[in-house]
Structure 1
Amino acid sequence: MAAIVKPFWESKTLEQMSRDEWESLCDSCGLCCLQKLEDAEDPDSIYYTRIACKLLDLGTARCSNYPERKKIVPDCIQLQPGDITSYAWLPHTCAYRLLAEGKPLPPWHHLVCGDENAVHAAGISQLGRMLSEEEVPEDDWENHLIFRC
């Protein structure tokens, strides 16, 4: 009888994953690339807007220049395995967050179902509903809130 081999995301910690495994966790929902606003009266409340980073390709919900993103957008946050729990703004559907919290990947995640478009079909991403930060003045971002984290 052959041994059952668990997929890497079930058998390794985030810290144990190879770079390729780590990168493959991203479901390309684009939510982490949306501009977020903090409530001045309640700093624990972070609101997502539908305003996307200028590098986010609105047609694919993927970074248009991932290798150079930190040079072009200096405040772009590069997630690291040991830091995940410190990013309270990560969406509750984020694979990095889910695994850091000891939760399973959802059925629509491409590593589970094999379909990279399932995240969009499930309505998790904002594909088709985002605006570029270059199109909307920052003073108007508040008019484009979509959910609270």
Structure 2
Amino acid sequence: MTDPFWQTKSLAEMTRQEWESLCDGCAKCCLHKFIDDEDIDEGNDLQPTDFMADNEQMVYSNIVCHLLNDKTCQCTKYNQRTKLVPDCVQLTQENLDDVFFMPPSCTYRRLKEGKGLPSWHPLLHKGKKSAMHKAGMSVRGKVISDAEVDLDFFEDYIVRWPLNSVD
């Protein structure tokens, strides 16, 4: 029996199909994230950024993009998402090093860090997400749409459930 592609190939060597199949479908990347920084003021808060300083910390909320189906944990407009939501990032082999905000449980991040697939990953369960949902690793049942929230009160929505992998 041959080893699975994620054990024999680097992320850069994977085909587009292999790359896409690594996504566990947890939808944590769709969570609104904020950088906790005491130097932020009213003029620059809630602005997109492409870096994080050493003294800053990423804070995740349970607020998700309005395009997310929170039952299936899938984007309802996946192919158009970056046009409809300009801040939405399409994760690729080329930009993986620059995407610092992916949660620690993200399979792409785990593989990049040499940790391997988590035990609940759909690739280890015939493509099914049930083990992931059962392990509490998806956003299912834990989120609210950004269309239903006043973002001025984002601190009321800071995530209380784990972003780290359970294994």
Aligned to 1:109: 121
Secondary structure, counterpart of 1:123 in structure 2: coil
After TM superposition, where is structure 1 displaced by more than 4 Å over at least 4 residues in a row? none
Partners of 1:14 and 1:22 within 8 A in 2: yes
Q: Distance in 2 between matches of 1:93 and 1:27?
A: 10
Aligned counterparts, 1:93-104, within 5 A? 93-104=105-116
Percentage of pairs with the same residue: 42
Q: Does 1:48 align with 2:69?
A: no
Q: Distance in 2 between matches of 1:134 and 1:140?
A: 13
Aligned counterparts, 1:58-137, within 5 A? 58-114=70-126, 115-137=128-150
Partners of 1:54 and 1:132 within 8 A in 2: yes
* Alignment equivalent of 2:156, drawn from 134, 143, 146: 143
Which range moved further: 37-46 or 137-146?
Answer: 37-46
| Cα deviation, residue 82, structure 1 | 3.4
Secondary structure, counterpart of 2:159 in structure 1: strand
Aligned to 2:31: 34
Amino acid aligned to 2:139: Q
Question: Which sections of structure 1, spanning at least 5 residues, go unmatched?
Answer: none
Aligned residues: 146
| Cα deviation, residue 119, structure 1 | 1.1
Q: Distance in 1 between matches of 2:99 and 2:15?
A: 21
Partners of 1:39 and 1:45 within 8 A in 2: yes
- Per the normalisation by structure 2, the TM-score is 0.81
Q: Distance in 2 between matches of 1:8 and 1:116?
A: 20
| Cα deviation, residue 113, structure 1 | 2.5
- Per the normalisation by structure 1, the TM-score is 0.90
Partners of 1:50 and 1:146 within 8 A in 2: yes
1:4-40, Cα deviation, whole Å (9 max, x unpaired): 3110111111111111111111111110000011112
Q: Distance in 1 between matches of 2:122 and 2:88?
A: 24
Partners of 1:85 and 1:97 within 8 A in 2: no
Secondary structure, counterpart of 2:148 in structure 1: coil
